[in-house]
Structure 1
Amino acid sequence: MKHTHSFMLWAILAVLLPLQMVRAADAPTELQKRLQSLPGVSDLKPLQSDAYPEKYVFFINQLLDPHRPEAGSFKQRVILSHVGFDRPTVLVTEGYAAHYATHPRYQEELSKLFNANLVFVEYRYFGESMPEPCNWDYLTVENSLYDLHHITTTLKQLYDQKWIATGISKGGQTTMFYRTYFPDDVDISVPYVAPLNKSLEDGRHEPFIANKVSTPENRKRVENFQLEVLKRKSRLLPMFEKYCSDKGYTFRVPIAEVYDFNVLEYSFALWQWGTPVNKIPETDADDHTLFKHFMAICEPDYFSEQSPYPSFNVQAAKELGYYGYDIKPFKKYLTIKSSRDYLHKVMLPPELSNLKFDKTLYNKVVTFLKENDPEMIYIYGGDDPWTASGVTWLKNKKNIKVYVLPGGSHTTRIGSFDADTQGEIKTQIHAWLNKE
């Protein structure tokens, strides 16, 4: 009989314990409760994480135009990775979509280094933060900074320790702009590989690529490859056209012109992402080898009507600026007569072809950085073409630090530097975090 009672007891427990475990798992944590109580927060969902005890995605209601509430609102996606309410918080001012931050293995560098909470904000008009209908008038840098201000102000109700803003590339630009417009929202700013362009075709990138990146021998090898694919245009263009057709790409200009722009883009793309020069095929390689490498470095969707970055193109034309191309070494072989104003001609939606670049943002940031000395660390790669328009010109600043990694690319991070430089950067940030 004792055995029978024991069996019955275990049978009951086998049913009840899983139910209790499910209820316990479903019970909201303190963080969930506090997040759900914040104004404007909706659609809160837990995410898996290999790096953080708790991780959530949610949406927060944002005004399309903070100066004109009647313009309406949209929902902006935010990803929150939690370490502790008593820890500092890293704010990632992403410049694009937030998809990659939802991955369980994602862990931002500063959050890992300083055991900090992570607030990752998707940029308006990207990913799941696209207003409907899409009115491009409200896609401005200033409006995006009010988005960050609202999110930071809201989440400081949960996290009252120090805040570090950071971002990469366009996200790094956003970090810099955010510090300019709302200098007291965060304590520290760390923009990675962030350009500050002064015009639609800034003019500093072309001579940088021609004269400063890597070595003269390596630069010549890159140029020789570009010349070779242009010389073989009659044979490679049909391959290029089929490649684009198979991918479903369509363009606003003839395919022969797209080919030219893709060749011009090659050097920027190769140096930006740090492709080893020894990966470039020799100029006597067969057509297939040259073409395969060409497509690996320069995917033509960049110029296509299917480009994943239409919102970026709009911002580049309006406020962010961009780079141009030097066609002089290649002019003999090009179909195009000029590359000027290519962004409008090739990459902008037709209805926005008349957009004019406004230098107000550039001037405002330059003035702010010259007249102030916030706690900021800029990180750049020495061979990254974007460094040509980077904030490397500031002098005699106590707090603003600029680190340029020799030979570094657009993938340069704090962990890319030698141990001594990494230690110097981390020591400085620690000091700022511990400052009363």
Structure 2
Amino acid sequence: MRNGWWFDEGRRWGGALLTAALVACGGAAGPESLAPEAPGPELQTEAPALEAGAEDIRVQLEAIPGLTVLDDIWVNGFRFFTLDYEQPVDHLRPGGARFQQRMTLMHRSAAAPMVLDTEGATIFAEPVPSEPADLLQANQLTVEHRFFGTSRPQSLDWSKLNVWQAAADIHRVAQAFEPLYPGRWLSTGVFKGGTAALTHRFFFPDDVHATVPYSAHRSRGLRDERHVRFVRTQVGDAACREQLETVQRETLSRREALRPFLEALEAQGLTFEVLGADRALEFAVVELPFHFWEFYGFGWTCEDVPAADASDEELFAFLNFVSALDFAFSDQGLEEAAPGYYQSATQLGGPGYAEAHLRPLLRYPGEDVATRFPPSGVRKHYEPWTLAAAEVWTRYEAKRVLLVYGDLSPWSASAFDVSARKDSYRVIAGDSIGFYSTLSLLPEPQRGFLLGRLSEWAGVPVHLPDEQEAGKHPAAGAPLLKARRAR
């Protein structure tokens, strides 16, 4: 159950940008073909000259009360700032405890639109634009989610980790930066960050003019059965689905043979005291098909699924690569992911995972649910009404929203919906998992229509890459890194 964990320092995903480019060009990329390092940003040694009479943007940023500039570099045609912004832990009591919320700013021009990128967890700290920012040549302000990464209050009051408090964080940020960027504001986000963009808009509809979330999801309950049906009967190729189930059964049948591989992880410093190594293995197996399709094409394809007679080493390597047993289910990974598990257990809910076909082999059936995970000793009461109200608002009232999904993504089973009468649209792209670059790769006339709406909402033209380059612009790989941190 991973609705908020993240990988340490991009351990396996350092080559994600290169992998995304290979996939976009038609190359299959399995675990062995991931590049060890991603190409770095193109740094500039000299800053462009300021326009006559223009005040330096850093001076303006430093004048914002509560904002601290931590870093400032020129890269790829824009100025990239790393920032901390002081926020109240409880927006209903702004005079109480405070914390520093991490943000990054990609500054192109004060006259350009602003894209507000809401993270669902730890911030993606590299200078890579989202697809809307790339298409619109816009500025981008990215905000880390409260309680994640460095944006943690000193004293964790878990009751203050809810969707309204998170939306209020974004509202204060928008208010603080709007005087510096008078152009049109849009918002975006991926996965849980996409849901955060919608809930922010639900509570504060006038902060931005339009919203473009990618794979935003609204789980109905702690185990949303829509995902079970989708993963078992609808997604991808039937033969591939059956092959994945065979791997699940084979892996569970070899628990004792796979124990040395778990012990090897422990020898590397990972511990499994919270779940126990055997339970961690079983949870990773149960979640395997969901995460396989969630990132299909970026790190693996059906050709990479092991055969039933694969060696123990091959089975474990595939399981660990796709389900990330080492980081997602170790004590270290669970600790980092605790805020996400808390949100899933209290408001966001989570996907259901198919277990019926594995029942004779399971030792912990029904236990892979958000309430089973950290933080321990904290009251967790599931409250569905806030997200239900946001879902109804999005469906019937939300104006200028473009929901982007892919037909291979399990999150499309819990997609939000909108009304075209409100100038809002939903696209489920074929043979796609719904990451950034999805809009650029749509077929015509669908692409032209949706990009036309995006251009009108932003008030500027769209800069579309050449067709052969559309899947290779920097935004194509960014969400993979982001999504591995924030499911």
- Are positions 1:83 and 2:108 aligned together? yes
TM-aligned CA deviation for residue 124 of structure 1: 1.0
RMSD between aligned residues: 2.2
In the aligned structure 1, how far is the partner of 2:112 from the partner of 2:275? 52
**Would the aligned equivalents of 1:272 and 1:410 in 2 still touch at CA under 8 Å?**
no
Q: Are the structure 2 counterparts of residues 83 and 74 from structure 1 closer, same or farther at C-alpha, using a change threshold of 3 Å?
A: same
In the aligned structure 2, how far is the partner of 1:251 from the partner of 1:332? 25
SS of the equivalent of 1:57 reads strand
TM-aligned CA deviation for residue 247 of structure 1: 4.3
Q: State how 1:135-146 maps to structure 2 within 5 Å.
A: 135-146=157-168
- Could you tell me the TM-score, scaled by structure 1's length? 0.87
Match of 2:366 among 321, 329, 339: 339
Aligned length: 404
**Would the aligned equivalents of 1:325 and 1:339 in 2 still touch at CA under 8 Å?**
no
Bigger proportion of residues as helix: 1
For 2:227, the aligned partner's letter is H
Deviations 1:355-386 (A, max 9, x none): 11101222221231243141000001111111
TM-aligned CA deviation for residue 273 of structure 1: 0.5
Match of 1:211 among 222, 233, 239: 233
TM-aligned CA deviation for residue 417 of structure 1: 2.6
TM-aligned CA deviation for residue 223 of structure 1: 0.8
TM-aligned CA deviation for residue 311 of structure 1: 1.1
Match for residue 14 of structure 1?
none
Q: Which runs of 5+ in 1 are unaligned?
A: 1-20
TM-aligned CA deviation for residue 322 of structure 1: 0.6
Match of 2:85 among 38, 60, 68: 60
**Would the aligned equivalents of 2:341 and 2:370 in 1 still touch at CA under 8 Å?**
yes
Match of 1:407 among 431, 448, 461: 431
Deviations 1:249-284 (A, max 9, x none): 323233222211111011111011113111111111
Per chain length, whose mean CA-contact separation is higher, i.e. which structure has more relative contact order (CA < 8 Å, sep 6+)?
2
> Identity over aligned residues, as a percent?
25
- Are positions 1:167 and 2:189 aligned together? yes
Match for residue 118 of structure 1?
140
In the aligned structure 2, how far is the partner of 1:297 from the partner of 1:248? 18
Q: Which runs of 5+ in 2 are unaligned?
A: 1-45, 461-487
Match for residue 292 of structure 1?
317
In the aligned structure 2, how far is the partner of 1:244 from the partner of 1:323? 29
Deviations 1:303-344 (A, max 9, x none): 2221132111111111111112221101111222x2246322
In the aligned structure 1, how far is the partner of 2:131 from the partner of 2:374? 34
Match for residue 310 of structure 1?
338
For 1:216, the aligned partner's letter is A
SS of the equivalent of 1:92 reads strand
319-328 or 158-167: bigger deviation: 319-328
- Could you tell me the TM-score, scaled by structure 2's length? 0.78
**Would the aligned equivalents of 1:380 and 1:404 in 2 still touch at CA under 8 Å?**
yes
In the aligned structure 2, how far is the partner of 1:171 from the partner of 1:365? 15
In the aligned structure 2, how far is the partner of 1:416 from the partner of 1:233? 43
In the aligned structure 1, how far is the partner of 2:430 from the partner of 2:451? 19
Match of 2:75 among 49, 52, 63: 49
TM-aligned CA deviation for residue 48 of structure 1: 3.9
- Are positions 1:426 and 2:451 aligned together? yes
In the aligned structure 2, how far is the partner of 1:172 from the partner of 1:350? 27
Match for residue 230 of structure 1?
252
Deviations 1:60-116 (A, max 9, x none): 111111111243111111211111111111110111122x33x34x22221111111
In the aligned structure 2, how far is the partner of 1:299 from the partner of 1:247? 16
TM-aligned CA deviation for residue 398 of structure 1: 4.1
Match for residue 368 of structure 1?
393
Match for residue 3 of structure 1?
none
In the aligned structure 1, how far is the partner of 2:421 from the partner of 2:267? 53
